[in-house]
Structures are given as C-alpha cells and as structure tokens.
Amino acid sequence: MLTIAKNHGLKALAAAALTLAATVPAHAGKTIDAIKARGQVVCGVNTGLAGFSAADSSGNWSGLDVDVCKAVAAALLSDASKVKYVPLNAQQRFTALQSGEVDVLSRNTTFTLTRDGSLGLSATTPIYYDGQGFMVTTKSKIKSAKQLKGQTVCVQSGTTTEKNLTDYSRANQLNIKPVVFEKLEAATGAYFSGRCVAYTTDASGLASTRNKEAKNPADHIILPELISKEPLGPMVRRGDEDWTALVKWTVYGLMEAEEYGVTQANVDQLKTSSTDPVVQRMLGQTEDTGKLLGLDKEWLARAIKATGNYGEMFERNVGPNSALGLPRGVNNQWNKGGLMYAMPIR
C-alpha cells in the first residue's frame, strides 16, 4: 500500500511540474533585453551574395538570410524593418558575433563541430542544405571535378571551402593548386579574369556568382559533383538560451507554416477560419506559445506575415523562378522528400 501511495504521489508531482513548466512565461535573456532597449536586431550578413544577403543601390537588403532577420524582428519587436544589417566577410563574421557587435550571424555559414564546439557560439537550425562545387568555363571542356588534376582553383580563405578543397585534392590525388584570396570579390574576380581554371564555393554561391558577375552566365557551368555537406544557418552566442530559442523557433515556425499551408497572404484569414488544431495553435488562437519564448501569442503570425513561410522565402530568393533558379531539392519539406523538418510548434 505504501508503494502504491508513493507512486501516486510521484505521478502527481510530475504532473504538477509539467503543468507549471507549461504555464510559466520565459524570462527574457540579456540579448533580448538589449535588443528591446535599442529597438533593433543587429544582424551579421554577407557583404553581397545574391539570393542570401545583398543590398540594392538604395541600401535595401534582401535574401534568404536577410528574411530570417526580418522574421525574428517581427516576432520580437513587431516590426520586420527594425533590423540593422552589418556586412561581414568570412574572416570577420565569428569575431563580430563573439564580441557582441551583432546579435545573430545569418550569413550562409556552415555548421561544423569545430565552430559549434570551440568558438563560444551555438548553431540554431539549418535554413539551407548545400554542398561545395566547382565552376569552370564552357570553353575549358571540363565536365567533371576529377578533370581538375594539377589545375589552379580560386578559393576564399577562412572558410570550410578552403579545407574541403585540400581534402578532396588529397583524397583523389589530384594535386589541385589552390589560389587563395581573403575577400570573396578578389577570388571571383581572379576566376573571371582567367587566373584560375575553376572557382569553388557552395553550389548556391556558385549560382549566385555566375548570375551576378559573369558577363555571360552561359559561358560558365557548375560541375555535377558536390564534395561536401554544407548545412547553412544562423548562429548566436553561446550562453543565452532564451535568445537561441527565439531564433531557432522562429525558423521552425516558418517551416511548419509551409507544411500546414499558412502563407503571407492567408495568415490573417486563417486566424479566424482555420479549424486545424496545429494552425490554430501556431497563430495563437487556442494556445499562447509565445509566453514560453518571452513573446506574445501573435509572434509567429507576425513573422509569417513579414516574410511568408519558408517555402515562400525559398522561392522568392533562390528558387526555380528566381534569378538564381536553384531547384528545391533536399531543401524541400520532409514529406516531399527533402530535409526540412520543423520541430513541432506545441
């Protein structure tokens, strides 16, 4: 009898703990407090990579990485325009985040063990699954990366790209000759001027560079091989779990919105018309998930309205009908053969 009573008591305590955890709002961390005080999210982005983060002649930023910053600002500050963009090259990006110069690094950055484990930074979740490739001129007649034996390849320093190139060359006994540049513009410029036979970076970056910088994009081809895994996504400083959670769950929310058909155009209408429990929960109609992140119940609805769901962001910035024309591929939803799998908003 004592054992039974004890078990019932433990179960009651566990149930009470779960109930308490579900009802106590999250306390804002120091990063969230600082952002609210200044009224801006400071976002580290690429100096200029079409489709991911690039500014037009008027200084307006756009791209997949930029949209993450806009969505976070909409969720936290109720205004997607309250973002200060800080362009960073590959060498500057981690120091800028470590030092507090930026709140979040949303800059086509690969998650690796070394970066996650030794820089005092935390990976959130991938927003684009990529892989490193090579671009060559059509007149070179090169059809495969294996034909780059003994050839010069332009590459940017301070990147996973540089290390991957060395590994690939050694593993396949290609004796590739890297021509290394600190700045992206120098590396691409050297390739287009003929200093290197090939240029290597993430395949999405190759498509962006070809579209933006080649005099005639048709004169350049991206070779079929991908020689690495490059999961790209936003990073934050380690030690502020509230801010990490906010960034991470904003991205998950945009992914789940696509899965359940919530779009920039229909989000307001679905607030009152949807009978889907998941949609009702996402849009704050039946549960207040925002309080668990230190936000209000409209946080995700605002983010979706600001940028559209993940699929809309992909299509607008890098998809088949955009200037880059990239296929959805592995960046499709998990139930359509891709890797985009949002943790449940519940």
pLDDT tens digits for range 283-334:
999 999 999 999 999 999 999 999 999 999 999 999 999 999 999 999 999 9
Per-residue pLDDT, 28: 62
Identify whether 212 is part of a domain. yes
143 and 184 part of one domain: yes
170 and 251 part of one domain: no
54 and 180 part of one domain: no
Identify whether 25 is part of a domain. no
Task: State pTM to two decimals.
Answer: 0.88
Q: Could you tell me the CA-to-CA distances from 25 to 28, 72, 75, 286, 296 in Å, in that order?
A: 9, 19, 16, 16, 10
**What share of the chain has pLDDT > 90, as a percent?**
90
Per-residue pLDDT, 140: 97
8-17, 41-50, 231-240, 255-264: lowest mean pLDDT where? 8-17
Residue 12: pLDDT band by 50, 70, 90 thresholds?
A: very low
Q: Could you tell me the CA-to-CA distances from 34 to 76, 93, 103, 242, 289 in Å, in that order?
A: 12, 20, 9, 13, 22
pLDDT tens digits for range 164-218:
999 999 999 999 999 999 999 999 999 999 999 999 999 999 999 999 999 999 9
37 and 62 part of one domain: yes
Calculate the CA dihedral of residues 152, 156, 157, 160 and round it to 10 degrees.
-100
For the beta sheet containing 121-123, the strands, ordered from the edge strand earlier in sequence to the opposite edge, are 83-88, 41-46, 104-105, 235-237, 121-123
Q: In the predicted model, is pLDDT for residue 25 greater than 90?
A: no
**Final residue belonging to a domain, choices 228, 259, 286:** 228
The three-class DSSP label of residue 2 is helix
Backbone phi, psi, residue 328, to 5°: -65, -45
Q: How many CA atoms lie within 13 A of 239 on its CB side?
A: 10
209 and 252 part of one domain: no
80 and 100 part of one domain: yes
The domain containing residue 185 runs over which residues?
A: 132-228
Per-residue pLDDT, 307: 98
Q: How many CA atoms lie within 13 A of 143 on its CB side?
A: 0
CA distance 169 to 245: 39
116 and 238 part of one domain: yes
Identify whether 2 is part of a domain. no
Residue 80: pLDDT band by 50, 70, 90 thresholds?
A: very high
**Final residue belonging to a domain, choices 171, 199, 228:** 228
34 and 177 part of one domain: no
pLDDT tens digits for range 60-72:
999 999 999 999 9
pLDDT tens digits for range 244-268:
999 999 999 999 999 999 999 999 9
184 and 209 part of one domain: yes
What letter does residue 335 receive in the DSSP assignment? G
50 and 136 part of one domain: no
Per-residue pLDDT, 158: 86
Which residue has tokens 């591929």? Answer: 329
**Position 266, amino acid:** N
The helix (H) or strand (E) run that includes residue 87 is: strand 83-88
Q: In the predicted model, is pLDDT for residue 29 greater than 60?
A: yes
